[in-house]
């Protein structure tokens, strides 16, 4: 999909608010929004931030086409022609900061910060959340799978089960960021340069008179990359013996068969038996691939059972993040222009978790210089000097003040980097390979207790005393107003 056609990829209420602001004359007022999520997905200890490349493409191409304008005019008679004329001229002129893709990220810290007129900042909310929430979710799921698969080969096979084409393609990219090695989706391969891999389907075997013939024909056509699916009839009695025969024929031509794929039955038992048969035939180099509704739990269990599987094809469970199919990232107003001056703003809620943290904030990752490990993420206002100077920092939990800790001798790594400044893109999009590399480095900066899949330790995300006090003050002001 062309990014320039995405201007209407927004909720109607955004356009209505833009219109009402325009009618009211308030559309040029400045605003600052921050995106964050409140709860980590899958009970994981971290999330893997993804979606920025798509966001950059979207913002760069954000224009209303003639067709968009005509559609809006037809949709709402209320929209005045002069408003539609303004939309025709629309270009995003704001400033965006975001975490780099592949960053490990945590609840309640800004991942993207958008500054600009209320007109433009309101418009982009829906699409930004759509891209960030999906891609971050899939990258996080993929990261959990990578954790259990270690150095085995991981192939993303999800396209047929993905929630439509964009999800398949951007999901394949998110999985690759988090450590998958390849995708079966050729368009994702072409678009992003992700390595592609594939075996063959049951239909390949079924269309021939025999499994043996099917294997031979396939190996003849693709002698340098053949992985044969051995479970169409009977894995151990027919599939593996036929695959061994084909491998021997290839050997006679000086070629090596790549592997076999198991796609049903007890994958632990079958892989152990198949490995024995292959080894006995001297085919130590032939790899075993497994697929069939795999996820991090089945892979972990199969490994615990001693399965002899070298490579995993993972589809449905990954691409649909089936155990938690959405990430609840939100986009909240934290500062507004009032009488020509910027001031913090808060949203109060009956649910304490939903009370926002006012003011435009920076996020620093506090990294202990001695160990090189991350200690906490620290949110403070742009004018707060402490972390920038490397001064002694107090990390405290406002709800449990005795849980405090002082840190010094640290590096404060700014996590929100400038992407657009006054509408100009200032961020050079990294290559996918360097994003993967950066993600690996990120993982190495965390102690294992934050990374483990089951019951991970909670990593600290702290706010400065000043941020906390402002939040309390705005809550108190609000209560006074209510009296
Ligand atoms: N040894 C094992 N331990 C735990 N889970 C396994 C083991 N072997 C296979 N599985 C998983 O169990 C599930 C089996 O699903 P299912 O019963 O649908 O497969 P099947 O009947 O073998 O094959 P088919 O897909 O042809 O129906 C899959 O998710 C598979 O990955
Ligand atoms: O199981 P997933 O993790 O989604 O991996 C992709 C699956 O897609 C293919 O089968 P297909 O879906 O065509 O049929 P099947 O599942 O009935 O074998 C393949 O054989 C895998 O089993
Ligand atoms: O290449 C494969 O084996 C493959 C690709 C997509 C889905 N299932 C299997």
What pLDDT sits at residue 397? 83
**What is the ipTM, given to two decimal places?**
0.96
What pLDDT sits at residue 402? 81
List domains and CATH numbers for the chain.
3-138+325-482 (3.20.140.10), 199-292 (3.20.20.70)
With a pLDDT cut of 90, the percent of the chain lying above it is 94
Confidence class for position 209, pLDDT limits 50, 70, 90: very high
Confidence class for position 305, pLDDT limits 50, 70, 90: very high
What Rg do the C-alpha atoms of the chain give, in angstroms?
27
Our answer on whether the CB atom of 258 is closer than 6 Å to any ligand 3 atom is no
pLDDT at 483 over 80: no
pLDDT at 285 over 80: yes
Mean pLDDT, residues 63-83 = 96
Confidence class for position 1, pLDDT limits 50, 70, 90: very low
Q: Considering every ligand atom shown, identify the ligand nearest to the alpha carbon of residue 304 and give its number.
A: 1
pLDDT at 241 over 90: yes
Mean pLDDT, residues 25-49 = 98
Confidence class for position 297, pLDDT limits 50, 70, 90: very high
For residue 48, how far is its CA from the centre of ligand 2 (angstroms)? 26
Q: Considering every ligand atom shown, identify the ligand nearest to the alpha carbon of residue 145 and give its number.
A: 2
- Alpha-carbon distance of 281 to 273, in angstroms, equals 13
Q: Would you list the DSSP string of 189-253?
A: HHHH---B-----HHHHHTSS-HHHHHHHHHHHSTTS-EEE--SS-IIIIIHHHHHHHHHHHHHT
DSSP character for 262?
A: E
For residue 199, how far is its CA from the centre of ligand 3 (angstroms)? 6
Q: Considering every ligand atom shown, identify the ligand nearest to the alpha carbon of residue 200 and give its number.
A: 3
Our answer on whether the CB atom of 300 is closer than 6 Å to any ligand 1 atom is no
Closest CA to 416 of 19, 34, 51: 34
Tell me the C-alpha to C-alpha distance, in Å, between residue 233 and each of 209, 230, 261: 13, 8, 13
- Please classify residue 37 by burial: count the beta carbons closer than 10 Å to its beta carbon, then call 0-12 exposed, 13-18 middle and 19+ buried: buried
Q: Where are the alpha helices (DSSP H) in 253-283?
A: 267-280
Over residues 182-201, the pLDDT tens digits come to: 999 999 999 999 999 999 99
Confidence class for position 225, pLDDT limits 50, 70, 90: confident
Ligand 3: which residue has its CA nearest to atom 6?
157
- Alpha-carbon distance of 169 to 37, in angstroms, equals 23
Q: Round the average pLDDT of the chain to a whole number and report it.
A: 96
Buried b / exposed e along 290-314 (16+ C-beta atoms within 10 A): bbbebbbebbbebeeeebbbbbbbb
pTM of the model: 0.97
Mean pLDDT, residues 87-96 = 98
Confidence class for position 73, pLDDT limits 50, 70, 90: very high
268-272, 285-289, 346-350: least confident range? 346-350
Q: Which atom of ligand 2 is nearest to the CA of 229?
A: 20
For residue 319, how far is its CA from the centre of ligand 3 (angstroms)? 14
């Amino acid at each position: 999909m062309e990014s320039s056609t995405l201007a209407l990829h927004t909720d109607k209420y955004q356009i209505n608010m833009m219109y009402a602001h325009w009618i009211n004359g308030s559309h040029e007022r400045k605003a600052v929004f921050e995106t964050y999520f409140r709860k980590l997905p899958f009970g994981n200890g971290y999330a893997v931030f993804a979606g920025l490349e798509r966001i950059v493409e979207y913002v760069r191409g954000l224009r209303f086409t003639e067709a968009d304008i005509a559609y809006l005019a037809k949709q709402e008679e209320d929209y005045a022609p002069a408003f539609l004329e303004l939309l025709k001229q629309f270009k995003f002129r704001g400033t965006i900061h975001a975490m780099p893709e592949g960053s490990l990220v945590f609840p309640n810290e800004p991942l993207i910060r958008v500054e600009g007129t209320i007109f433009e900042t309101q418009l982009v909310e829906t699409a930004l959340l759509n891209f960030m929430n999906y891609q971050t979710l899939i990258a996080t799921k993929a990261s959990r799978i990578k954790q259990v698969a270690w150095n085995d080969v991981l192939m993303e096979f999800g396209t047929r089960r993905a929630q439509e084409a964009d999800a398949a393609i951007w999901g394949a990219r998110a999985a690759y960021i988090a450590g998958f090695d390849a995708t079966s989706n050729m368009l994702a391969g072409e678009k992003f340069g992700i390595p592609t891999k594939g075996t063959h389907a049951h239909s390949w075997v079924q269309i021939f008179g025999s499994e043996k013939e099917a294997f031979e024909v396939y190996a003849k056509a693709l002698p340098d990359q053949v992985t044969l699916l051995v479970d169409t009839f009977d894995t151990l009695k027919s599939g593996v013996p036929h695959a061994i025969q084909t491998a021997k024929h290839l050997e006679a031509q000086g070629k090596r068969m790549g592997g076999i794929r198991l796609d049903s039955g007890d994958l632990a038992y079958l892989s152990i038996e198949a490995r024995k048969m292959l080894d006995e035939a001297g085919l130590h180099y032939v790899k075993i691939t497994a697929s069939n509704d795999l996820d991090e739990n089945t892979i972990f269990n199969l490994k615990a059972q001693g399965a002899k599987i070298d490579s995993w094809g993972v589809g449905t469970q990954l691409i649909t993040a089936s155990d938690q199919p959405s990430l609840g990232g939100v986009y909240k107003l934290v500062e507004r222009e009032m009488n020509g001056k910027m001031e913090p703003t808060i949203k109060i809620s009956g649910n304490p978790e939903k009370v926002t943290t006012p003011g435009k904030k920076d996020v620093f990752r506090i990294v202990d210089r001695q160990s090189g490990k991350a200690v906490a993420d620290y949110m403070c206002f742009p004018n707060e000097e402490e972390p920038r100077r490397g001064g002694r920092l107090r990390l405290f939990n406002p709800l449990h003040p005795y849980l405090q800790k002082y840190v010094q001798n640290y590096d404060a790594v700014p996590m929100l980097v400038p992407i657009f400044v006054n509408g100009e893109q200032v961020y050079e999009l990294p290559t996918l390979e360097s994003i993967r590399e950066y993600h690996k480095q990120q993982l190495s900066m965390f102690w294992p207790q934050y990374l483990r899949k089951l019951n991970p330790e909670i990593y600290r995300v702290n706010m400065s005393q000043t941020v906390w006090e402002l939040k309390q003050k705005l809550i108190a002001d609000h209560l006074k107003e209510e009296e």
